[in-house]
Chains A and B, each alone.
Chain A
Amino acid sequence: MKDKRVTITLNGRKTILVVEDRTTLLNALREHGVTSLKRGCEEGECGACTLIMNGLPQKSCLILAREAEGADILTVEGLVKKGRLHPIQQAFIDEGAIQCGYCTPGMVMTTYALLKKNPYPSDEEIREALTGNICRCTGYLAIIRAVKKSAAILSGNNGGGGTREDY
């Protein structure tokens, strides 16, 4: 029975979720309307439900909603400010790092957490950080290009602007 109240800060706004003991944070937030979090596996394998909780990237399917009491939660919806995309989102679009888009919100959030912690990641560090996010469409190389591009933009070093390989 849904009779437990959980108070969180969701994308900067105080939000109350009404849940059962067994409700995962993923399902609670999806029910609340945050459908950018996807149900890809519901067992922590695919990363499509990744959000940032208290500064760390987390798979929301592995967290019970009640565990999130008082937490500060950021989802991909929270990255869009006044109608403007976050540079990570823009870089994913520009580099062709999106195909079906099902893994994209999770990929973007993991990238966001990576670049907060490590603004200049190497290829190897990018791969390590994103290893828990599965993408079946792109073959990942475009995602690596997008992460590098957003790192360059966010650190103010765009190295001559977004180059597109114009075939």
Chain B
Amino acid sequence: MKTIKTKTGIGKWLPRKYDLEKAEGTLQFADDLRFGSELLHAAVVRSTVAHGEILKVDDSQALKIPGVLKVLVGEDFPHHFGLYLKDRTPIAIGRARYVGEPVALVVAETEEAASEAAKKVKVTYSELEAIFDPVKAATNNSVLVHPNLHKYEHVDFITPQPNTNIANWFRIRKGDTEAAFKHAAHVFEETITCPQIAHGFIETFCSICRQDPGSGEITIWTSAQSPFTVRDIIAKGINYPLHKIRVIAPPIGGGFGGKAGMTVEALCLAAAMDEDLKGRPVKLFIPREEVMLSSWVRQGFVARIQMAVSEDGFMQGIRNTFWFDTGISAEYGANPVRSAGYTSMGAYNIPNVWADCYAVYTNKPFGGAYRGFGLPELMSALEVVVDIVAHKLEIDPVEFRKKNLLKKGQTTCTGMPMHDHALEKIVDKVVEKMDLHNEEPAIRKGWKRGKGIALAIKAPATPADASSSAIVKLNGDGTVEVLAATMDMGQGTYSAFAQIVSEELGIPYDWIKVYYPDTQSHPYDWQTVASRSCWSMGMAVKRAASELREKLLALFAEYWQTPVETISIEYGVVKCHKLGKSERIDERVQNGFKMPDGILKGGPIIGTGSFTPPDLIYPDPDTGQSSKVVAHFTLGAVGIDMEVDPGTGRIVANKVCAGYDVGKAITPINIKGQIEGGTVQGLSACLMEGMSYDERGRLLNPDFTDYKIATIMDAPTEIECFWEEVPEEISPYGNRGVGEHSMIAPAPALNNALFKATGMRIHSYPLSRERVYKALKAKEKGESDFWEWPYELDLAYMRAKKEW
């Protein structure tokens, strides 16, 4: 029995942990740590060709710059790293595969000297033919990005195809799709494309590495979401014992998946482990214009979706082909492909599903984890296709969606039964709050107004055995310290953990401290990804806190000679109402209780908790079928009211309404923050984001001047967010993740609203001003659909530049 009282448990709106230090400016991020004058600095020399043999690296001019100590090349640190597939080395060895790939690393006494010298390193290449188009790369093997694909180690749930550019091929084969399409009353086929996009976190990458020369022990301070996975990947990459690698993760300035796995740590480590430099800490700070070249971005995609619908409007079958452009590495990118495949049916009950999701190598910067992990990609295509089908069938898009919703007990495309959820209620609420069926006149003169809706669905697509553990320590004054190696990168998990501990211990929130992770002190956690922390680590923290409570209550029960059931912890004070006892928690919880029989019992009280998902089974590689492939799904819906200026192609969102079934809201302040933030990030991706390349594969928009992300001027006037709470079975309090989900539906909802406003359907993201303008011009000529090859826009820029 739990007998606690608290005013600061789960569900309360409280000030977030570490917001005070953030407001004061005193919270130290990796770049703010100080290491004294022994600190060395590294700067990266990057490939200028998209594909080429490295013939020579001439560092003679670089070494003449005062303060420059060493120039490292790939052969100096010949280790392969990767989370799911070991297909990359920190510095290119032998062959450069994209413009911007590290080909040498300069180490110097100052940052200025290092970056100056990096410009003086001369690299000569023998250029090879490069490939940029993912569909071509997948279907034509004339250029192989990784001829050694068959040699790379990988986890057994991905299926690389040697001698091709396909790094992972995930399949769903459910039911009889052929028959479904043959007998369907209506069959549709649509294609949607989207370029690579970038996370746009404001803190760039920063790592500091040091190796102790005698013991060989390595310490890494790094802007990372997942310190234990950084340690794991490095240990496997350099074949090193885990206990000799310590990863300290200071607060990070935004992650969004871009600082998951291992990013630039191994590159920095290459310098720190060098025989000539060993012992001195080396810092690698990645400047803004190199961020998209240093680690993964979101994969671009070309999606072909076919849908079979019965006479009475029921979805009978779906065939998805997704070519994900994963650039030169699929070490992480292999998995969003699987994640998208797991949800090939979207939020619908479709009995027959055939899906092929490919991670395709091209000679571009690489793709990987990004908020939503494959689902914003899938759903920004699928939810538009569903809308197209509804309009073509002349069924109201809301009705069409509701009619086909995936309900409790119906099976997903991987064959697992869907759990209970509130999606139908959420759709109804969004429709009502947006007055979605009411076509209103535009607010701005000459503009066109429309309203659209899209659904969101996502499961945590982690490895089946992704685990968490936590330690909760009770101090000698009743305050509590929590060691849970989740990274609070702004989503506010530490506030959630403190509220969970308060809920379990009856100790006030303000007495509870949660520390940023350090692999030396914290117990293991897999990663801060997949919106899994309040759920998976939440389980571990809850278990640790309840274990601590049981230990504490047992000691007081013996001390007071009363049954444990009669004791409660209320607002930090231990009470027994039956005996009229009330005592503060004091040093007895660390030094022991002198029991009535004179014996000292107890000693320092700690609680520990672990969690591993108990019942997940990897799907069959040929069919994608499994009894339970993911822990749960979070579902939701987004409605958007927008206007477009036909004269300029500019789109403005008037109002957005977003609702999700979160199971249970642990920290309302965070859920609201996640929904608002993800909505704007989704709109930003939809309207303005896309990495552009020239015909030689050079990134044209590496910084915020050219790669536009939403500013405050682009935020909608109003975002109305709400949530429902249909509890999850295996979960600390019934809660499910919601951090990433808010980014899934805004793009397709906006796209659908644009169609409603203009009658024009744009099949290529982003819905940039020039593209919308061009589409509306095409509409005047009688076109109804507008489609541009993902890189068409870039080539148009190039042509325009030449004309100028």
Of A52-60, A65-73, A132-140, A153-161, the stretch lying at the interface with chain B is: A132-140
Measured between beta carbons, the chain B residues less than 8 angstroms from A48 are 202
- The answer to whether B680 and A92 touch across the interface, beta carbons within 8 angstroms, is no
Of B80-88, B273-281, B664-672, the stretch lying at the interface with chain A is: B664-672
Name the CB-closest residue of B to A109. B25
Cβ of A130 within 8 Å of any chain B Cβ, yes or no, is: yes
* Interface set, chain B 468-497, CB cutoff 8 A to A: 489-492
Name the CB-closest residue of B to A89. B23
- The answer to whether B20 and A77 touch across the interface, beta carbons within 8 angstroms, is no
The one of A30, A38, A164 in contact with B253, judged by C-beta atoms closer than 8 angstroms, is: A38
Give the docked Cα–Cα distance between A139 and B256 (Å).
14
- The answer to whether B25 and A140 touch across the interface, beta carbons within 8 angstroms, is no
- The answer to whether A133 and B253 touch across the interface, beta carbons within 8 angstroms, is no
Q: Assuming the A-B contacts A43-B705, A135-B202, A167-B668, are A100 and B23 also in contact, with contact meaning beta carbons closer than 8 angstroms in the complex? A: no
Cβ of A142 within 8 Å of any chain B Cβ, yes or no, is: yes
Measured between beta carbons, the chain A residues less than 8 angstroms from B121 are none
Measured between beta carbons, the chain A residues less than 8 angstroms from B28 are 35
Cβ of A102 within 8 Å of any chain B Cβ, yes or no, is: yes
- The answer to whether A136 and B665 touch across the interface, beta carbons within 8 angstroms, is no
- The answer to whether B19 and A77 touch across the interface, beta carbons within 8 angstroms, is no
Q: Assuming the A-B contacts A40-B202, A98-B19, are A138 and B26 also in contact, with contact meaning beta carbons closer than 8 angstroms in the complex? A: no
The one of B288, B677, B709, B717 in contact with A138, judged by C-beta atoms closer than 8 angstroms, is: B677
Q: 1/0 per position for A71-109, CB-CB distance to B under 8 A?
A: 000011100100001000110111010111111110010
- The answer to whether B490 and A99 touch across the interface, beta carbons within 8 angstroms, is yes
Q: Assuming the A-B contacts A38-B29, A139-B680, A139-B715, are A134 and B704 also in contact, with contact meaning beta carbons closer than 8 angstroms in the complex? A: yes
The one of B19, B680, B704 in contact with A45, judged by C-beta atoms closer than 8 angstroms, is: B704
Which among B13, B252, B677, B719 has the highest number of chain A CB atoms within 10 Å? B677
* Interface set, chain A 108-167, CB cutoff 8 A to B: 108, 123, 126-128, 130-144, 164-167
- The answer to whether A166 and B489 touch across the interface, beta carbons within 8 angstroms, is no
Measured between beta carbons, the chain B residues less than 8 angstroms from A142 are 672-673, 676
- The answer to whether B29 and A102 touch across the interface, beta carbons within 8 angstroms, is yes
Nearest Cβ in chain A — how far from B114, in angstroms? 14
Give the docked Cα–Cα distance between A111 and B24 (Å).
14
- The answer to whether A100 and B680 touch across the interface, beta carbons within 8 angstroms, is no
Which among A20, A35, A123, A137 has the highest number of chain B CB atoms within 10 Å? A137
Measured between beta carbons, the chain B residues less than 8 angstroms from A132 are 711
Compute the total of residue contacts between A and B using a CB distance below 8 Å. Answer: 183
Give the docked Cα–Cα distance between A167 and B175 (Å).
43
The one of B202, B289, B670, B679 in contact with A134, judged by C-beta atoms closer than 8 angstroms, is: B202
Cβ of B447 within 8 Å of any chain A Cβ, yes or no, is: no
Give the docked Cα–Cα distance between A131 and B704 (Å).
13
Q: Assuming the A-B contacts A39-B285, A93-B20, A101-B22, are A167 and B204 also in contact, with contact meaning beta carbons closer than 8 angstroms in the complex? A: no
Nearest Cβ in chain A — how far from B210, in angstroms? 20
Give the docked Cα–Cα distance between A142 and B16 (Å).
14
* Interface set, chain A 26-68, CB cutoff 8 A to B: 30, 35-36, 38-43, 45-46, 48
For A, the interface residue count at a CB cutoff of 8 angstroms equals 57
Q: Assuming the A-B contacts A92-B23, A93-B23, are A131 and B712 also in contact, with contact meaning beta carbons closer than 8 angstroms in the complex? A: yes
Cβ of A5 within 8 Å of any chain B Cβ, yes or no, is: no
- The answer to whether B719 and A101 touch across the interface, beta carbons within 8 angstroms, is no
Q: Assuming the A-B contacts A101-B19, A108-B23, A139-B678, are A42 and B492 also in contact, with contact meaning beta carbons closer than 8 angstroms in the complex? A: no
Name the CB-closest residue of A to B716. A141
Cβ of B32 within 8 Å of any chain A Cβ, yes or no, is: yes
Nearest Cβ in chain B — how far from A154, in angstroms? 16
- The answer to whether A127 and B713 touch across the interface, beta carbons within 8 angstroms, is yes
Measured between beta carbons, the chain A residues less than 8 angstroms from B719 are 139, 141
Nearest Cβ in chain B — how far from A69, in angstroms? 21
Cβ of B327 within 8 Å of any chain A Cβ, yes or no, is: no
- The answer to whether B677 and A76 touch across the interface, beta carbons within 8 angstroms, is no
Nearest Cβ in chain B — how far from A101, in angstroms? 3
Measured between beta carbons, the chain B residues less than 8 angstroms from A36 are 24-26
- The answer to whether A35 and B23 touch across the interface, beta carbons within 8 angstroms, is no
Cβ of A22 within 8 Å of any chain B Cβ, yes or no, is: yes
- The answer to whether B676 and A141 touch across the interface, beta carbons within 8 angstroms, is yes
- The answer to whether B678 and A131 touch across the interface, beta carbons within 8 angstroms, is no
Measured between beta carbons, the chain B residues less than 8 angstroms from A104 are 22-23, 25
- The answer to whether B256 and A136 touch across the interface, beta carbons within 8 angstroms, is yes
- The answer to whether A93 and B253 touch across the interface, beta carbons within 8 angstroms, is no
Nearest Cβ in chain A — how far from B248, in angstroms? 17
By DSSP majority rule, is chain B's interface helix, strand, loop, or mixed?
loop
Q: Assuming the A-B contacts A93-B16, A93-B19, A127-B713, are A137 and B24 also in contact, with contact meaning beta carbons closer than 8 angstroms in the complex? A: no
Cβ of B152 within 8 Å of any chain A Cβ, yes or no, is: no
Measured between beta carbons, the chain B residues less than 8 angstroms from A76 are 23-25
- The answer to whether A102 and B254 touch across the interface, beta carbons within 8 angstroms, is yes
- The answer to whether B712 and A127 touch across the interface, beta carbons within 8 angstroms, is yes
- The answer to whether A134 and B25 touch across the interface, beta carbons within 8 angstroms, is no
- The answer to whether A140 and B672 touch across the interface, beta carbons within 8 angstroms, is no
- The answer to whether B704 and A99 touch across the interface, beta carbons within 8 angstroms, is no
Nearest Cβ in chain A — how far from B28, in angstroms? 6
Nearest Cβ in chain B — how far from A49, in angstroms? 11
* Interface set, chain B 16-45, CB cutoff 8 A to A: 16, 18-29, 31-32
- The answer to whether B23 and A42 touch across the interface, beta carbons within 8 angstroms, is no
Cβ of B287 within 8 Å of any chain A Cβ, yes or no, is: yes
Which among A22, A102, A128, A138 has the highest number of chain B CB atoms within 10 Å? A102
Cβ of B241 within 8 Å of any chain A Cβ, yes or no, is: no
Nearest Cβ in chain B — how far from A61, in angstroms? 10
- The answer to whether B251 and A101 touch across the interface, beta carbons within 8 angstroms, is yes
Cβ of B703 within 8 Å of any chain A Cβ, yes or no, is: yes
Measured between beta carbons, the chain B residues less than 8 angstroms from A85 are 20, 23-24
- The answer to whether B202 and A103 touch across the interface, beta carbons within 8 angstroms, is yes
Q: 1/0 per position for B691-708, CB-CB distance to A under 8 A?
A: 000000000000111000
- The answer to whether A166 and B202 touch across the interface, beta carbons within 8 angstroms, is no
Name the CB-closest residue of A to B491. A99
Measured between beta carbons, the chain A residues less than 8 angstroms from B672 are 96, 142, 165, 167
Give the docked Cα–Cα distance between A101 and B251 (Å).
9
* Interface set, chain B 172-205, CB cutoff 8 A to A: 199-204
Give the docked Cα–Cα distance between A90 and B252 (Å).
22
Which among A93, A99, A100, A126 has the highest number of chain B CB atoms within 10 Å? A100
Nearest Cβ in chain A — how far from B200, in angstroms? 5
Give the docked Cα–Cα distance between A104 and B18 (Å).
12
Q: List 30 A-B contacts (CB under 8 A).
A: A40-B204, A43-B289, A45-B288, A45-B704, A46-B202, A48-B202, A77-B25, A77-B26, A85-B20, A89-B23, A96-B672, A99-B492, A100-B202, A100-B255, A100-B489, A101-B18, A101-B27, A101-B251, A102-B202, A102-B253, A127-B713, A131-B712, A136-B256, A137-B673, A139-B676, A142-B672, A144-B715, A164-B13, A165-B672, A167-B723
Extra 12 A-B pairs, beta carbons < 8 Å, given A80-B24, A93-B20: A38-B253, A41-B703, A45-B288, A100-B252, A101-B18, A101-B251, A102-B202, A131-B711, A138-B677, A139-B715, A141-B715, A167-B672
Residues of B within 8 A of A (CB): 13, 15-16, 18-29, 31-32, 112, 199-204, 251-256, 285, 287-289, 489-492, 665, 668-673, 676-681, 703-705, 709-713, 715-719, 723
A-B interface, 8 closest residue pairs, ranked by CB to CB distance from nearest: A36-B25, A101-B22, A102-B253, A100-B490, A99-B490, A139-B680, A45-B704, A35-B32
